Amino acid sequence: MSRAEWQPAPALVLFDIDGTLIRRAGAHHREALVEAVRRVTGVDATTDHIPVQGMLDRDILRIMMRDAGASAALIRRSMPDICAAAERIYARRCPDLRRRVCPGARGLLWRLFRRRIPAALVTGNLTRIGWTKMERAGLRRYFRFGAFAEMAPDRASLTRMAIREARRQGWIGPGAKVTLIGDHPNDVKAASANGIRSMAVATGLTGKQELAEHVPDLLLDDLRSLTVDMLLA
């Protein structure tokens, strides 16, 4: 479809990746971060003490290096090379993730695709890591674009960036319904910070009770019960 044929959609749906679209994807992501730090700086760091759920990769790397004794100057200077190395390492090692897709995710994305409602990623993953996961999970075709860890300092800013890009491209109009779907309180907070609807799914490591404490607009066990009409309402 040419740009001239695009019609603004009535909705935009933003998705987190880990715990929302895929789960139990293995230790390859963490291992890529650890090895990238060691290759670029020689620093032996670990993620073992870091609650990485809901965090941005760059923040995880910063904490890893700081706690391993790296100076602020080294962290700042080496961060671009570390991120690039982590992306290369993960792209080589990522396994087939098609069996790791969360319940209902594939069906929901297909229904959005058929109705030409744009879907985008808002994730703490670095760009190549995020897209690699989507490719290995068989979900890449459903997403027009994404906002990734190195693009902004926090998840709320990434959400804002994704909304602005969708509007800039003419994919949605001013009155479009925008929803952020995630499995972590940080996703709910990012939606609230941008004045958009939040939908939380209990398919990640955060339990349903804890998610409920952050008062998402809708709380689901998984994506099987979420319909396109609910996203348009």
Average pLDDT, the chain: 95
Do residues 14 and 59 share a domain? no
Contacts with 126 (C-beta within 8 Å, 6 or more apart), sequence order: 57, 58, 83, 86, 87, 148, 149, 150
Among 63, 93, 123, give the residue marking a domain's end: 93
How many domains in the chain? 2
Query: pLDDT by residue (tens digit) across 19-30?
Result: 999 998 879 999
Query: pLDDT by residue (tens digit) across 149-177?
Result: 999 999 999 999 999 999 999 999 889 99
How high is the pLDDT of residue 2? 45
User: Whole-prediction pTM value?
Assistant: 0.94
d(CA 89, CA 213): 37
Average pLDDT over every residue of 92-119:
97
Q: What is the CATH number of the domain that holds 86?
A: 1.10.150
How high is the pLDDT of residue 4? 44
Do residues 106 and 210 share a domain? yes
- Map tokens 């709910």 to a residue: 188
Do residues 200 and 110 share a domain? yes
Strands 145-147 and 218-220: unpaired
Do residues 190 and 129 share a domain? yes
**Domain around 73:** 28-93
Query: pLDDT by residue (tens digit) across 42-73?
Result: 999 999 999 998 899 999 999 999 999 999 99
How high is the pLDDT of residue 1? 44
Do residues 147 and 41 share a domain? no
Q: What is the CATH number of the domain that holds 159?
A: 3.40.50.1000
Do residues 119 and 82 share a domain? no
Do residues 109 and 87 share a domain? no
